[in-house]
Amino acid sequence: MDRRISKLLIANRGEIARRVMRTCSEMGIATVAVCSDPDRDEPFVREADEVVLLGGARPAESYLRMDAILDAARKTGSDAVHPGYGFLAENAEFARQCADAEITFIGPSADVIAAMGSKIEAKLLMQQAGVPVLSTIDVSDQSIDAIKKQLVNVKWPLLVKASAGGGGRGMRIVRDDSELEQALDTARQEAESAFGDGTLFIEPYIESSRHIEVQIFGDTHGNVIHLFERECSIQRRHQKIIEESPSPAVDEELRQRLCDAAIKAGEQICYVNAGTVEFLLTESGQFYFLEVNTRLQVEHPVTECVTGLDLVRLQILIAQGQPLPDEARHASLTGHAIEARLYAEDPANDYLPAAGRLHRCRFPVDRSLRVDTGVDEACDVSPFYDPMLAKVIVHAPTRSEAAARLAGGLATTQIHGLQTNRELLVRALRHPEFIAGETDTHFLERHDVTELAAPMGDASVEKLHAVAAALASQAERRAKADSLASIPTGWRNNPSQFQQVQFTSPSGEIDVQYRLARSGLSLLIDGVEQADSQLIDGTANEVSLLLDGVQRTYLVHRVGQTFYVDSSRGCTALKEQPRFPEIDADAVAGSLTAPLPGVVSEVLASEGDSVKAGDVLVVIESMKVLHQITAPTPGRVSQLAVQPGETIAAGEVLAVIDEE
């Protein structure tokens, strides 16, 4: 039966909400956004035809509230709901309630979601279909001693995994039984926070494997098809950061076997709408079923690029009762596509999420780049949700060309104000292992993440960027001058003393002295004269310099006393030092401060407690991840400044320990 959709509510936020809206606009379907309090000014809210405020900040107070979302659909007369990914996308009860309310759910049936939502049950169903699976130990409602007894003859390492949801949350590698109890507790808490379901299971952890997945679609007319494979092996915390299609490890024979297995999986459960069948691929070419994601995947754009299909449009057509169109049933692969997920996080600091003010996120104007993002050029990144800023995708005739274009596009993106994983992505895409197609899920463990995530420019580049910042600052002052505004920046008619500016860069202090006169630019960097230097042009935002026979253009963005300078050699954040430094009051000795903004999940100590180094005192939830704050030294807790449920800022004092 054809069920025409005229208005669609998107039960999600950010990038995926905007992505769904884009297709709806092309199909003539009105859109409704729902939003939490922190999201009221986000782009997806402004772009929707109608908006319903959910209130609250944390997911449990907003995007996980089924009653509020269904009420929003009724209020607005929405005849369909698209769940996106995450939040309620794989919640069988939500799909069931949509059906009960006669609202079309863009996805498979509640029964299929429930069956695949239990990854234990899913594996049993796949075994029946003849799809290879890994052995599984269900740890639900079992004591730690009972669990350990089942692991006596099991080969380590093991993987503790959440039965619900995905995205690497609620997942921990365990290498011996001494780590097991803590891994189970943390994974359970994380799964409950992210998905509202703390059910866990354990399976073998296969070293040196690849993560391969197959996109499937089923319609209500009994058709189940595949749209080829994607490789998602480069991961951090079991969450994908680089995805591509097709996989460099898959030849035609293996592709056929993988896709046949994926179709068997879909047919076994009478699958309808978009789904992804995920596999682990070993070095020997054997593959094992992992799970079926009963939703659209974050990495769906690479499949769209190589097939030329709009997967959201296919979802809507199927939800309307239409059969899969011929172009989907007879799809073919063209070229190669690679996607990189740009996150606000610090890879060198255990991928600590970054939240706060993003002063600029400006991507290069390049037709070969597709950018799917939920943020404006400048915005506040909330601590309550996933820290992904954008997905950047390139489609090219060859894999090597796609990798080169994507690395170049990321390298020239201006990102100011927050630490990101941009440098890590660029170096991964340019790494010999990646170029050779030899990566696996341990890529980021084999290589020093500190080196991969280091600033693109070295100390010599920082010095050149400091010169550009100094000249841009002078140009800004010149532009604001009331008289003689047409005179070049820093220019002097007669010989005069050098102008001096000092900056703090990631590598240390930089001293810049310059003088502009009729004879040209005189320049000293850290007291060393630069013999061959010439200012070609200079404004507050752009400086063109000839140094040592090479001319380069530097883009300068000033925020307060910080200068962000971008060039072909990287980006540097430089803080201008005041001529008369202020003296800051010392922090209270023994203070433990929050490394990032978030919400206090647990307080595990009391004032007066004696603690050992490494004892967990406070647990902070930020961007769906739990962060443990531990005692750095033995001592006594003399002050606890926070309570569970309290929202905290980065740098806020959590506790004070008097050292013993």
Residue 374 belongs to a domain: yes
pLDDT band at 196 (very low <50, low <70, confident <90, very high): confident
End residue of a domain, out of 390, 421, 454: 454
Let me know whether 247 and 356 are in one domain.
no
Residue 45 belongs to a domain: yes
Let me know whether 470 and 560 are in one domain.
yes
End residue of a domain, out of 439, 454, 469: 454
For range 641-653, the mean pLDDT: 85
For range 322-349, the mean pLDDT: 97
Let me know whether 162 and 183 are in one domain.
yes
What span, in angstroms and rounded, lies between the C-alpha atoms of 613 and 595?
18
The CA–CA distances, whole Å, from 325 to 4, 104, 108, 225, 317 equal 16, 20, 18, 11, 9
User: What pLDDT is stored for residue 167 in this prediction?
Assistant: 62
pLDDT band at 334 (very low <50, low <70, confident <90, very high): very high
User: What pLDDT is stored for residue 488 in this prediction?
Assistant: 55
What span, in angstroms and rounded, lies between the C-alpha atoms of 399 and 61?
43
User: What pLDDT is stored for residue 148 in this prediction?
Assistant: 86
User: What pLDDT is stored for residue 29 in this prediction?
Assistant: 98
Query: For position 607, which CATH number holds?
Result: 2.40.50.100
Please list, residue by residue across 402-432, b when 16 or more beta carbons sit within 10 angstroms of its beta carbon and e when fewer do.
bbbbbbbbbbbbbbbbbbbbbbbbbbbbebe
Helix segments in 179-226, DSSP class H: 180-195
Q: Lowest-confidence range among 12-21, 98-107, 121-130, 314-323? A: 121-130
Query: For position 404, which CATH number holds?
Result: 3.30.470.20
SS3 451: helix
What span, in angstroms and rounded, lies between the C-alpha atoms of 423 and 566?
13
Q: Which of 18, 210, 236, 295 is catalytic?
A: 295
What pLDDT, in 10s, does the model give residues 557-601?
999 999 999 999 999 999 999 865 554 444 466 678 888 788 888
Residue 123 belongs to a domain: no
- Please confirm, yes or no, whether 40 is among the known catalytic residues: no
What is the DSSP secondary structure assignment for residue 153, as one 8-state letter?
A: T
What span, in angstroms and rounded, lies between the C-alpha atoms of 378 and 611?
43
User: What pLDDT is stored for residue 444 in this prediction?
Assistant: 96
Average per-residue pLDDT for the chain: 91
Residue 115 has pLDDT above 50, yes or no: yes
Share of the chain above pLDDT 90, in %: 69
What pLDDT, in 10s, does the model give residues 598-643?
888 889 988 988 988 888 989 888 766 778 888 888 989 988 888 8
Which residue range(s) make up the domain with 648? 591-659
Let me know whether 340 and 322 are in one domain.
no
Cβ neighbours of residue 557 closer than 8 Å, sequence gap 6 or more: 359, 360, 414, 416, 541, 563, 564, 565, 566
Angle at 461 (CA atoms; ends 470, 450), nearest 5 degrees: 125
Q: Ramachandran region of residue 489, left (φ > 0), alpha (ψ -120 to 50) or beta? A: beta
Contact between 316 and 296 under an 8 Å Cβ cutoff? The reply is: no
Q: What is the DSSP string of 101-114?
A: TT-EESSS-HHHHH
Share of the chain above pLDDT 70, in %: 94
What pLDDT, in 10s, does the model give residues 259-278?
999 999 999 999 999 999 99
Let me know whether 342 and 445 are in one domain.
yes
Q: What share of the chain is helix, strand, coil (3-state, %, to 5)?
A: 30, 35, 40
Residue 455 has pLDDT above 80, yes or no: yes
Q: Lowest-confidence range among 135-149, 162-176, 604-618? A: 162-176
Let me know whether 221 and 175 are in one domain.
no
End residue of a domain, out of 64, 86, 106: 106
For range 292-296, the mean pLDDT: 96
Beta strands in 347-408 (DSSP E): 352-353, 356-358, 360-362, 369-373, 379-381, 388-396
Let me know whether 470 and 481 are in one domain.
yes
pLDDT greater at residue 284 or residue 582: 284
What is the DSSP secondary structure assignment for residue 335, as one 8-state letter?
A: S
The CA–CA distances, whole Å, from 266 to 109, 117, 123, 129 equal 13, 14, 13, 10
For range 442-459, the mean pLDDT: 94
What pLDDT, in 10s, does the model give residues 519-553?
789 999 999 999 889 999 999 999 999 988 899 99
Query: For position 471, which CATH number holds?
Result: 3.30.700.30
User: What pLDDT is stored for residue 624 in this prediction?
Assistant: 67
Cβ neighbours of residue 443 closer than 8 Å, sequence gap 6 or more: 233, 234, 428, 433, 434
What's the total number of domains in the chain?
6
